[in-house]
């Protein structure tokens, strides 16, 4: 059984070919970072047009790397939720076209669930049941993951996603887009205790929610003070920039670690699986490993390369394929978060 997986939810055009042992035979991720850099954020229309230009070469390259021809593909999976509408459409139309032309099953997958499933692909062992933490540019979610087909949302962010906060604070600090990796690098040279930024809901175990917008505002006030709004030409001393980056990162990590532990306690589950772009953050990985050693829960983190968007996430479709849970050609895009 060979699965072709397509991912175009945001600004990565990606395709992967996997076998039924969840081995990655070939994979391509075409990033659009350069296109969006000057806007310091993803511009949906620019993203959709770039997907359109790239989808066919990306599919060709993934098949070539896998050493597989289209006639050998048994099923096609595509992330149809959540994401940017125009971006999702490109992947979904490509997948439907292949399913129709080749006469093979089509499966729509939830991209957020796929981020957790990256842990399954990498570890090559069953991960269910587990608590799933997905921290990306658009989402910060905690799930009770009962099976590949049953994800129960435990909590989410009430405002910004963790990655979004990283990106916006990075902009304040004059760092390049995407801000997360650049901010994390700067934080390595700073003092995480220099500033005590807010940690929303930290000690409330009954509230499995995140909020990063107040934290973002606290950083802003630290930099420019209330009332002023321009970060342009702000001459921030290098030491201060590094200290702010480290203190901000520590506040985000504190919240992510604490809420994950609270979710484990609340559900009684013993395993935590972590994915999404922010899961590539080394400080978060280090703190989660410490928590796992101290508290005795099992920790599976997606390898850093599989944290940011990619099509290997679509491997989750393989389990649904085995259960015969395929989709029709009326498969719709669902830009909003699916629970």
The footprint of Zn ion (CB under 5 A) covers 136, 309
- x/- binding map, residues 270-289, to ligand KG4, per CB under 6 A? ------xxx-xx--------
Report which DSSP code applies to 175. Answer: P
Residue placing its CB nearer to ligand KG4 in the complex, 41 or 205: 41
Q: Which alpha helices (H) appear in 82-189, and where do they start and end?
A: 85-102, 111-123, 162-172, 179-187
Q: Counting contacts by CB under 6 A, is residue 181 touching ligand KG4?
A: yes
Residue placing its CB nearer to Zn ion in the complex, 11 or 309: 309
**Nearest CA-CA partner of 258 in 195, 213, 209:** 209
Among 137, 155, 190, 314, binds ligand KG4 (CB under 6 A): 137
Q: How many residues bind ligand KG4 (CB under 6 A)?
A: 19
Residue 225: exposure state from Cβ atoms within 10 A (0-12, 13-18, ≥19):
exposed
Q: Counting contacts by CB under 6 A, is residue 250 touching ligand KG4?
A: no
SS3 assignment, position 160: coil
Among 108, 178, 190, 314, binds ligand KG4 (CB under 6 A): 178
Stretch that binds ligand KG4, among 101-109, 133-141, 145-153, 200-208 (CB under 6 A): 133-141
Q: Counting contacts by CB under 6 A, is residue 155 touching ligand KG4?
A: no
Q: Counting contacts by CB under 6 A, is residue 86 touching ligand KG4?
A: no
What does 82 bind: Zn ion, ligand KG4, none (CB cut-off 5 to 8 Å by kind)? none
- Check if the beta carbon of residue 29 is closer than 8 Å to that of residue 14: yes
Q: In what order do the strands lie in the sheet with 24-31?
A: 24-31, 12-19, 2-7, 75-81, 106-110
What does 303 bind: ligand KG4, Zn ion, none (CB cut-off 5 to 8 Å by kind)? none
| CB neighbourhood size of 149 (10 A) | 12
**Nearest CA-CA partner of 118 in 250, 7, 262:** 7
Summarize as ranges the residues that interact with ligand KG4 (CB under 6 A). 10, 136-138, 163, 166-167, 178-181, 184, 276-278, 280-281, 308-309
């Amino acid at each position: 059984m060979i699965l072709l997986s397509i991912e175009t939810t945001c600004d990565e055009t990606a395709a992967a070919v996997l076998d039924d042992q969840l081995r990655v035979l070939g994979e391509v991720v075409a990033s659009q970072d350069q296109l969006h850099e000057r806007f310091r954020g993803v511009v949906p229309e620019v993203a959709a047009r770039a997907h359109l230009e790239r989808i066919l070469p990306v599919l060709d390259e993934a098949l070539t790397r896998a050493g597989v021809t289209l006639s050998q593909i048994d099923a096609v999976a595509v992330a149809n939720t959540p994401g940017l509408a125009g971006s999702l459409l490109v992947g979904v139309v490509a997948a439907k076209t292949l399913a129709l032309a080749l006469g093979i099953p089509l499966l729509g997958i939830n991209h957020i669930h796929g981020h957790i499933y990256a842990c399954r692909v990498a570890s090559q062992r069953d991960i269910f049941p587990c608590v799933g933490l997905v921290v990306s540019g658009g989402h910060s979610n905690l799930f009770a993951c009962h099976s590949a087909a049953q994800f129960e949302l435990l909590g989410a962010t009430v405002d910004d996603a963790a990655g979004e906060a990283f990106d916006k604070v990075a902009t304040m600090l004059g760092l390049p887009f995407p801000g997360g990796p650049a901010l994390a690098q700067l934080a390595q040279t700073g003092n995480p205790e220099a500033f005590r930024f807010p940690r929303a809901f930290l000690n409330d175990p009954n509230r499995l929610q995140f909020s990063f917008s107040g934290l973002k505002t606290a950083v802003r006030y630290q930099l420019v003070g209330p009332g002023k709004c321009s970060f342009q030409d702000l001459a921030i001393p290098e030491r201060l920039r590094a200290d702010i980056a480290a203190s901000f990162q520590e506040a985000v990590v504190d919240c992510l670690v604490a809420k994950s532990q609270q979710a484990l306690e609340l559900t009684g589950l013993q395993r935590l699986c972590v994915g999404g772009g922010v899961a590539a953050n080394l400080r978060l990985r280090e703190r989660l490993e410490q928590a796992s050693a101290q508290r005795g829960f099992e920790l599976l983190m997606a390898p850093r390369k599989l944290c940011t968007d990619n099509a290997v996430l679509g491997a989750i479709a393989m389990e649904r394929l085995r259960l015969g849970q395929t989709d029709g050609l009326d498969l719709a895009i669902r830009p909003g978060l699916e629970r």
